[in-house]
Amino acid sequence: MSHHQQPAEHGPVFKRMVAGAPYKPDAECHALSDTIYEATKLFEQYYARSEHAQAMHVLREHLGAFGTGSFMRPSVAFDYGVNTFIGEGCFFNFNTVILDVAPVRFGDGVLVGSNTQFLTPTHPVNPQDRKNLWEGGLPITVDDNVWIGGGAIILGGVSIGENAVIGAGSVVTKDVLANAVVVGNPARVVRTVGPDEHPAHPHQYSAQSIAEAQAFYDSLTASSD
């Protein structure tokens, strides 16, 4: 990954939160949440004017990392942003939600479909603890070249291995091994990605159409690096 922010000196409550210990949000947490909310509004304003490079720059400035050639479409929502780390050449389609009270890390070349959620927060089972506003969080890790279909939900504590495929609408509650294809609620392995996998119906895509699509994508991302 690239474009890491310089680590900030956070207070004890924020450190407890990132470490996965029980915590109650304090003033620092609320201030960081307000900051990323304003940043995502600015991102969407730039995007609406087709100023994609400026929109990606906003994310690069406010996330923990936003790698070269990565691209997000609106809308996007984060709890804090600083706990989200995105590698190079990733693509996030419309309406991504990343609740990053714990770290959420994406490798390189990750593809994320529309309306996908990454949910690290946890709450106590004990109702009195919930009433007293205790919270927690578990990290999420998505390795290189993972494809996550639209509407999937990835829960805290999950790691997804490289090259895995998450079917649309799946709810992922447990770790996914590298090269696995999982679907369903809860997500279950249905097969493994083989070394000789090819796109479905490759004859439908001419060399010219592929080149044109790549040129268009490059035009969106090149100036935002």
Which residues are tagged catalytic?
123
8-state DSSP, 204: G
CB 172 within 8 A of CB 158: yes
Contact in structure between 163 and 179 (CB atoms under 8 Å): yes
DSSP state of 132: T
The two three-digit tokens of residue 105, written as one number: 């890390």
Give me the DSSP letters along 92-117.
E-SSEEEE-SS-EEE-SS-EE-TT-E
* CA 56/CA 73 separation, integer angstroms: 9
Could you tell me if 43 and 58 are in contact, meaning their C-beta atoms sit under 8 angstroms apart? Answer: yes
CA–CA separation, 22 and 122 (whole Å): 9
| 111: nearest Cα among 65, 156, 73 | 73
The Cα–Cα gap between 83 and 7 comes to 11
Give the SS3 label for residue 185.
coil
CB-CB contact of 26 with 197 (8 Å): no
